[in-house]
Amino acid sequence: MAKTTYSCSACGASFSKWSGRCDGCGEWNSITEDKGLSKGGPASKSLGMRRGKTIPLSDLATEEAPPPRSCCGVGELDRVLGGGLVPASAILVGGDPGIGKSTLLLQAAAQFARSGVKTIYVSGEEASAQVRMRAQRLGLAQAPVKLAAETNLRDILTTLEAEKPQLAIIDSIQTMWADHVDSAPGSVSQVRAAAHELTTFAKTNGVSIIMVGHVTKDGQIAGPRVVEHMVDTVLYFEGERGHQFRILRAVKNRFGPADEIGVFEMTGGGLSEVRNPSALFLSERGAPSPGSVVFSGIEGTRPVLVEMQALVAPSPHSQPRRAVVGWDSSRLAMILAVLEARCGIPFAGLDVYLNVAGGMKISEPAADLAVAAALLSAREDTALPADTVVFGEISLSGALRPAPQTENRLKEAQKLGFTAAIAPSGGKSVAVEGLALRQASDLAGFVGDYFGAG
């Protein structure tokens, strides 16, 4: 006999026995008994579950080919998925409200359906007529996609079992309601139960399921973090409302590289893919100006060139301001401290503003040297040559560390017309035709060579 378990409907914490108060979040009367979906009892199985059988690893046929992926024809989406959609996979897509998640997935559903993949789009937020109106605006009215408007999880699973699609899109997981969970839709317990049932259905029936998830004000997917552990792939759809660019980023992918990105542009007819994002991010870059430096970065497997912009100005306040958009503010504080301690260049009494142009978000340490160059360029009012890219990691000692995939960074810069690159020395020697590589061993030497200080 299966053991009865209990969980908190407020925070999702699990317990072996019932109590009046949750030890995790402190809520009263929030602990309820976990019940199965199919028969309503704690010992019952979830809908669609089968008793598993063990298979010795040594008996698996080595020549057996992996399941074929389904490509929708949208190159940026296929790239982020790792080369296409894997059968029986569960995918979670998160993003801010109004960023374009539903638009992206409706376009993807239409492309998958046109390529022969039987697709069902289930909306818990809109009526079928409203989804059809959006499809007409996007020019997808003739796509062979089946639509459904439902929030009851039991009805959705029953329909999927009868229709047997290859792809099901659930928009969104926060609107799904499981009738065996005694809490409101969108609560921690409901989101966890719905994600578990949908993921289990995907694995046992060979259906690929894409779930849309809303995010909190901190940018994390709303609900328990265990949902991200359940699924195979977690994608975040990012972008600044002031920019037309949207970035689909893989933060977890069991079937492909993590941190891969796909770039889209929001237009009147929906989202269009950007095949060369570096050229687009640099398209609005004008004449050389102080504080502007081009960084050659790597996002997943793709080299991307972006412009780092810095502004340094006298502060009227006793405590100078540090404002960052698109980069880690803690890392900016570290770069400023290294410049002062190792190079003798203080930023006390100066406001510092740093921005990554185009709405990109950079997280790799190789951007350190480009940020330092932009800060020094703005402080000294000296512009670096417009045909130069910069990359490299800065250590606390002031030494420069080489960045990985140097050759890919240099080739991308050369392809876009850059003729010079500044990078740390000591790495793998790479020669790219038409591009001069200038190397520096430490930050003090770099400052002295290009800004005459330090």
State the pairing for strand pair 90-95/208-214.
parallel
**Residues with Cβ within 8 Å of residue 273, at least 6 apart in sequence:** 74, 75, 76, 77, 262, 263, 264, 265
For residue 224, what are its two tokens? 């328990």
Q: Among 215, 372, 200, which residue's Cα sits nearest to residue 293? A: 372
73 annotated as ligand-binding: no
Q: Is 19 within any annotated ligand binding site?
A: no
What whole-number distance in Å separates Cα of residue 225 and Cα of residue 251? 13
Q: How far is CA 86 from the centre of its chain?
A: 19
- Encoded tokens for 181: 């969970």
75 annotated ligand binder: no
Write the DSSP assignment of 61-122 as a string of letters.
-TTPPPPPPB--S-HHHHHHTTSSBPTT-EEEEEE-TTSSHHHHHHHHHHHHHHTT--EEEE
CA distance 128 to 337: 56
d(CA 133, CA 400): 55
Instruction: Report the residue count for the chain.
Output: 454
On whether 155 is known to bind a ligand per the annotation, the reply is no
- The single-letter DSSP state of residue 304 is E
45 marked as binding residue: no
User: What is the C-alpha separation between 314 and 321, in angstroms, rounded?
Assistant: 10
Q: Please check if 41 is assigned to a binding site.
A: no
Is 34 annotated in some ligand binding site?
no
SS3 content of the chain, % helix, strand, coil (to 5): 30, 25, 45
Contact present, 145 and 108 (Cβ < 8 Å): no
Does 422 carry a binding-site annotation? Answer: no
* CA 420/CA 30 separation, integer angstroms: 62
The alpha-helical segments, DSSP class H, found in 118-245 are: 128-137, 153-163, 188-205, 226-230
Residues tagged in the binding site annotation: 95-102
Binding site listing for ATP: 95-102
